[in-house]
Structure 1
């Protein structure tokens, strides 16, 4: 399935009914199906007996070949808004080929000795240099990205700290995998070693959190904790051509017991208004925006593998994004009292009103959603469109509008450059 083609709901089965390309491949079986459907192959590391690598498209996470090529063509001729998005990228200090990595064997997030900014700054530098190479073809930026990725895969063995270690493994796991996906096939990049780092350092924490939730009540952790974990597992599955990990993440999105699964992250739907309440809306808007960005990234990565989660459950995520966008544009939205259990004993908690904390905070999450729903799908999403226009052109990690602390690096960004169509 091309990521550039519209998929109108009124002319095809619903997302719940439509088999994904991966399902069709399984049904058709093996190399013959790959030949019929035009799916590329890649060397796998999972050791599974079935031909799992045939099921994955590369590059196939946040950025596909078609989108990268479109940006390359339009930047070269100076067409807007790609040119403005490109200018945001090249002005970022992380996007410079002179960037020097600072790898550590142990990364700590939460508690004494915290050093995790070293990791997220290097990840964003690798990703931004990889984008410059993919779009402009400059080998110096390819060399910089490879240098950063190889430096970390050679030394990182442990992510630790308090409960925040799970956030580090999730957020930086999916981001790191995306940087590596862009450099797949680049001379000098040790993909095999990088895959092993992702499988041995990041995935075990990801898997443990989804299974155990740090030994807390299943509803104790907010949606973004599950979502970053799910995004990391999905990205690792794609990077490593690991069918089981990919399926683990998608199944949790649809059926998981924690707050990152779709029906828990979006607990209330206001059908007549085309809106749906986000799980963290009563907490604050900064974390609501983070959650929208993480679920959007999850859906975008799955989309490039032929899986329409954007439209799953009658566009439930779209309605939630509309809700968060509308409120952060300064307009009123409905709110249903939200109750949950906290701590290890599920002590009852409740929120009776939406929170205005961090309302209107800028985050580079909206252009990806606007260009998917309004352009790919030809759906009306006025609040998503309005808030995307307000923040355009989007930058990325290290750009001042988003902050200089870890929250400013929660999204890889550059949606205007990468998703405009």
Structure 2
């Protein structure tokens, strides 16, 4: 006769208490210990474009150690009676995150103390998140704050630092996320679908992050299950079609970018925890990015009228024009995974990054931004530059600013199209004494363009002077390379161009060309004519 087996009560209780726990990597949201170390090394070695992104972050008011906290608030909301809390709360949560990152990068404790001040203030005060749009408030704003808390909890501890994270902080901060933020997300999941997809995606990235921070396996796994199979517009298969079209592509571009950025943040957290969601559905997320980049660059893309889960958003018959071509800072995260980690190609996203690098802040709390610092895995973009030599690849447009210009496809080539194309790039190091010949490969210049469309400028005695180079006097190599010798030209004040190293502004000003396309591939300087 078999004897009954008895499980000791304390073992049973232990099992019940830990059934939802899981061994998570910490820090383990957008940033692991190794990725934080990589970010620090990028800045220490002034690797571009990461260093440029870092400089933008530390210049932000929210990145300062003397940032004045706007809250805390007992109730936060995005609109309605407590709508006045939206902007100050978003600034506070961004400040907590920026200072957490800057603490890691610089090692300066005042940054850590500022992040801790904000986290502790809200953990001791915040009691409620109120609608309307409370799922977005909990999802987007909560995501920024929990990323800051995750970094500080594991890198600035009381055993090493006087003001570090201590035993009293853990239950207070955990209670804030579990008891104030998470119930809003749970209610959203338990409600019949009623929103565009960016809502469900924002909710999912926050719940996934809370799951890691709280060491709660169920929260984490439920978020992944929703990401892959949920009955809502805010899931990977229901938000990004096989063609790459996005559920909100017909609405406007800013919401499509918001949703896609949040999907990539979900995938990055999973990657940190050892799971690959980037590759889900045959790299569906990558297809979404390429579609978004291609369509916003002006290329034609396939479009179908989307039949969404709710039935409310099924009447968009064309791409939404609002926000077209206004790229947000959320492209580095996906590009660096698919191209740098996995060796795949994202040609249209690469063009976008050439236009917007280094990435700056995200829009409010929608996405973290600063991807050129936080997620960059490529080579130092300074490596290919010789000091004092101009080497500008206009297929990438790194650092160029546009006064009047759109960048679109014309006859299968990316072209500058506007009634008045005027663009410039500042702070280019140039030494005319070593590299006096400036060559421009320009396959298409309209006959109506200004003759002096290439200009150089720098300040002399604190006043800017301009050297306008006459294209009619340029030496032509082949059909499309114009060569100018800078030492042959005088400025508007009759000054010879200096032969010493100086920072210049490079200007392309084609004037009123009646929307004819302009194609310029590169601008380079050379020591000798025969080097071209």
- The interval holding the TM-score normalised by the smaller chain is 0.7 to 0.9
Structure 2 residue 366 is matched with structure 1 residue 417: no
Matched with 2:121 is: 151
Residue of 91, 100, 103 corresponding to 2:72: 103
Provide closer, same or farther for how the CA distance between residues 258 and 138 of structure 1 changes in structure 2, counting only shifts above 3 A: same
Deviation of residue 65 (structure 1)? 1.6
Residue of 72, 80, 98 corresponding to 1:128: 98
CA distance in 2, matches of 1:414, 1:47: 42
Report 1:304-343 matches (<5 A): 304-340=272-308, 342=310
Residue of 37, 41, 54 corresponding to 1:69: 37
Deviation of residue 241 (structure 1)? 0.7
Matched with 1:394 is: 359
Deviation of residue 341 (structure 1)? 6.2
Residue of 262, 266, 269 corresponding to 2:242: 269
Deviation of residue 347 (structure 1)? 5.8
Deviation of residue 176 (structure 1)? 1.2
Deviations 1:358-396 (A, max 9, x none): 101231100111111110011011112221221111111
Q: Does the CA-based 8 Å contact 2:257-2:328 persist in structure 1?
A: yes
Structure 2 residue 189 is matched with structure 1 residue 221: no
Matched with 1:278 is: 246
CA distance in 2, matches of 1:347, 1:375: 39
The unaligned stretches of length 5 or more in structure 2 are 1-14, 159-163, 378-532
Deviation of residue 175 (structure 1)? 1.5
More helix by share: 1
Deviation of residue 66 (structure 1)? 1.7
Matched with 2:322 is: 357
CA distance in 1, matches of 2:135, 2:149: 21
Secondary structure in structure 2 of the residue aligned to 1:338: coil
The unaligned stretches of length 5 or more in structure 1 are 1-45, 271-275, 398-406
Q: Does the CA-based 8 Å contact 1:369-1:384 persist in structure 2?
A: no
* Range moving further from structure 2, 386-395 or 187-196: 187-196
Residue of 330, 337, 343 corresponding to 1:372: 337
Residue of 109, 118, 128 corresponding to 1:139: 109
Matched with 2:89 is: 119
Deviation of residue 310 (structure 1)? 0.7
Residue-pair matches, total: 352
CA distance in 1, matches of 2:16, 2:286: 37
Deviations 1:207-229 (A, max 9, x none): 1101104xxxx2x3111000000
Deviations 1:141-190 (A, max 9, x none): 0000000000000000000022x111101111211111111101323331
Structure 2 residue 186 is matched with structure 1 residue 207: yes
Structure 2 residue 258 is matched with structure 1 residue 290: yes
Deviation of residue 130 (structure 1)? 0.4
Q: Does the CA-based 8 Å contact 1:169-1:229 persist in structure 2?
A: yes
Matched with 1:176 is: 145
Report 1:19-58 matches (<5 A): 48-50=17-19, 52-54=21-23, 56-58=24-26
Q: Does the CA-based 8 Å contact 1:341-1:349 persist in structure 2?
A: no
Secondary structure in structure 1 of the residue aligned to 2:191: helix
Provide closer, same or farther for how the CA distance between residues 277 and 86 of structure 1 changes in structure 2, counting only shifts above 3 A: same
Root-mean-square deviation (Å) = 1.9
Matched with 1:233 is: 207
TM-score by length of 2: 0.64
Which structure has the greater CA radius of gyration?
Answer: 2
Q: Does the CA-based 8 Å contact 1:290-1:410 persist in structure 2?
A: yes
Q: Does the CA-based 8 Å contact 1:159-1:165 persist in structure 2?
A: yes
CA distance in 2, matches of 1:390, 1:89: 19
Provide closer, same or farther for how the CA distance between residues 88 and 160 of structure 1 changes in structure 2, counting only shifts above 3 A: same
Secondary structure in structure 1 of the residue aligned to 2:125: coil
Secondary structure in structure 2 of the residue aligned to 1:113: helix
Matched with 2:229 is: 255
Provide closer, same or farther for how the CA distance between residues 281 and 348 of structure 1 changes in structure 2, counting only shifts above 3 A: closer
Provide closer, same or farther for how the CA distance between residues 69 and 348 of structure 1 changes in structure 2, counting only shifts above 3 A: closer
Matched with 1:91 is: 59
Deviation of residue 51 (structure 1)? 7.9
Deviation of residue 52 (structure 1)? 2.7
TM-score by length of 1: 0.80
Residue of 149, 152, 161 corresponding to 2:131: 161
Q: Does the CA-based 8 Å contact 1:327-1:333 persist in structure 2?
A: yes
More strand by share: 2
Deviation of residue 113 (structure 1)? 3.3
Provide closer, same or farther for how the CA distance between residues 349 and 60 of structure 1 changes in structure 2, counting only shifts above 3 A: same
CA distance in 2, matches of 1:50, 1:242: 9
Q: Does the CA-based 8 Å contact 2:327-2:352 persist in structure 1?
A: no
Provide closer, same or farther for how the CA distance between residues 409 and 51 of structure 1 changes in structure 2, counting only shifts above 3 A: closer
Q: Does the CA-based 8 Å contact 1:337-1:352 persist in structure 2?
A: yes
